[in-house]
Amino acid sequence: MAVSIDLTAAKAGSSSRMPHGTGHPLILGAAVLTGLLSLLPLGFVVYIAATSGWETIADLVLRPKVGAPVVNTLALLVLVLPLSAVLAVALAWLIERTDLPYARLWSWLVIAPLALPAFVHSYAWNAFMPRFHGLGAAVLVSILAYLPFLYLPVAAQLRRLDPALEETAQSMGKRPAVVFFRVVLPQLRLAIMGGSLLIGLHLLAEYGLFVLTRFDTFATVIVDQFQSVYNGPSANLLGGVLVLLCLALLGLETRLRGDERYARVGSGAARRRSRVPLGEWRWAALALPLAFALLSLAVPVLTLARWLWSGGAAIWRLEFIIPALGQTAMLALAGAVMTTLAAVPMAWLAVRAPGRVQRVLEACHSYVGALPGVIIALALVSITVRVALPLYQTLATLLFAYVLMFLPRALVGLRTSIAQAPVELERAAASLGRPPVAAIWQTTIRLAAPGAMASAALAALGITTELTATLMLAPNGTRTLAMRFWSYTSELDFASAAPYALLMIVLSIPLVILLHMQSDRVEQV
């Protein structure tokens, strides 16, 4: 990945560090507490494995019924990830580097599927083609739902590449195809690996999408096992195997990513490469983005419109819709605020006091982003049942699960915003007699407020469409939009589920707009 090094920015970054003072113990203590709490899911999985014994593990995990979902999950990863990578690179190249007609429009349409939760994609295709089940259906719907996660980083990376490298290769007589595979594609490796990892983790964690396509994966088996025998050891041990699959995927991504560097010193060329003329293929090339838009957007939108029309006014049961909308908004707002506040101490330490302790704490905060929601929910269910029964299926436990699940999102956004706030303001406030924490709050945190709001919005929109952990942890009487949607689709009442799907899409649209705007602003730094 091409990364330029600005010596002036580097000097400014070094001055953003702050010597340890009286304010650090409180901030460090808060970060340590959050890091320890974040380790609960992983610690629980290790505890269950250690106390169960090999015979129990073998009886519950090494069963034929478990082997089939493992094979299905691996087959899904092997098919979806390479196909998604090829398709994402092809779309990004056409839209960003060629004179494809209406390129700006296609860039919006390719990421628009993010506005639809994955299980809504599956719901739409299940209603559109009721017999479309199995591995083929799971692969197609997974690509349509998750491809934008790969397209976004690849497209952003293509925009920031220095065109001088490609022009030099062409001046040496290299053909365009050779330039692409030997100069451009290697520089996209980090973006491809990162996007593929994100899709792979979603595939391991996804539940609703594969239930509706009638394709058993490891995550669906765990949830089904949990629902049949609440807090049973089988679900917990299977959760441990899923954690191992996640760690294996992380290790594979690291190995494939390699340690090659594509950095350059200096700002590089402050220009974009001229677009490649497609010539007589200019209009034929529209077939690829058009096909993706039709499959990923037209089918869900038309299917949803059909169910809304056929259901008529009867499906708009406001006595159910309004409480579900209110509960979803309340949980999203409360969870987003708590998640952002929990990330503040670690984000501040990462910028102002980097070091070994900070790196360990940051890893504790970030690893939960690689854990499926079902693992976090299983851990919290078992912990509350065993040692804190009054907290079982309470609002506090559900909100805590949201904090763990979306903490990495908030941390990334806050860390960037705090890095842009001058440390001199903190020092000036402290020199005027402000207590250290007050000085930080009144200067850096205020300046970082826009970034904090963006992080909170990302967490809130994630909570809005979260399904698996909410199904397992929600208190009695709680019915979010996702839960209502899932209840009706489980009964094959697709018409009654349509209003809830529509409301989730409406609430997700701002996230898509935010992602696209951030992608457009990516420049060489």
pLDDT of residue 305: 92
Task: List where CATH 1.10.3720.10 sits in the chain.
Answer: 27-50+316-479, 63-264+282-310
Nearest to 119 by CA among 403, 481, 408: 481
Do 299 and 128 form a contact (C-beta atoms < 8 A)? yes
Nearest to 436 by CA among 9, 8, 25: 25
What is the mean pLDDT, run by run of 10 residues, along the chain of 525 residues?
Answer: 37 44 69 87 80 72 75 92 93 86 88 86 87 90 91 81 66 68 76 82 84 86 72 68 76 67 47 69 85 92 91 89 92 91 83 76 73 81 86 91 86 69 68 69 69 76 85 88 89 88 87 66 44
May I ask the CATH architecture of the domain 63-264+282-310? Orthogonal Bundle (1.10)
Nearest to 380 by CA among 6, 44, 12, 18: 44
pLDDT of residue 147: 92
pLDDT of residue 519: 56
pLDDT of residue 192: 85
| Alpha carbon distance 268, 106 (integer Å) | 28
| Alpha carbon distance 367, 440 (integer Å) | 27
pLDDT of residue 266: 45
CATH code, residues 27-50+316-479:
1.10.3720.10
Looking from the CA of 439 toward its CB, the CA atoms found within 13 Å total 20
DSSP of 354-378, one letter per residue?
-SHHHHHHHHHHHGGGGS-HHHHHH
Residue 519: enclosing H or E segment and its boundaries? helix 494-520
| Alpha carbon distance 444, 439 (integer Å) | 8
Q: In 3-state terms, what secondary structure has residue 271?
A: coil
The residue behind tokens 């979806």 is: 80
Q: Give the rounded distance of the alpha carbon of 403 from its chain centre.
A: 14
The per-residue pLDDT for range 56-114, each reduced to its tens digit, is 777 767 776 777 888 898 999 999 999 999 999 999 988 888 888 888 888 889 988 88
Do 396 and 383 form a contact (C-beta atoms < 8 A)? no
Do 445 and 345 form a contact (C-beta atoms < 8 A)? no
| Alpha carbon distance 376, 351 (integer Å) | 28
The per-residue pLDDT for range 443-458, each reduced to its tens digit, is 766 766 666 777 787 7
The dihedral built from the CA positions of residue 510, 514, 515 and 520, taken in this order, carries a sign that is: positive
pLDDT of residue 350: 76
Nearest to 18 by CA among 348, 432, 340: 348
Q: Is the pTM of this model over 0.85?
A: no
- Token pair in block for residue 520: 């457009």
Nearest to 160 by CA among 150, 152, 149: 152
Do 392 and 488 form a contact (C-beta atoms < 8 A)? no
The residue behind tokens 């929990």 is: 342
| Alpha carbon distance 286, 305 (integer Å) | 26
| Alpha carbon distance 87, 369 (integer Å) | 25
pLDDT of residue 141: 94
pLDDT of residue 12: 41
| Alpha carbon distance 338, 332 (integer Å) | 10
| Alpha carbon distance 176, 188 (integer Å) | 16
pLDDT of residue 375: 80
- Token pair in block for residue 220: 């669906």
pLDDT of residue 22: 38
CB-CB neighbours of 201 under 10 Å: 20
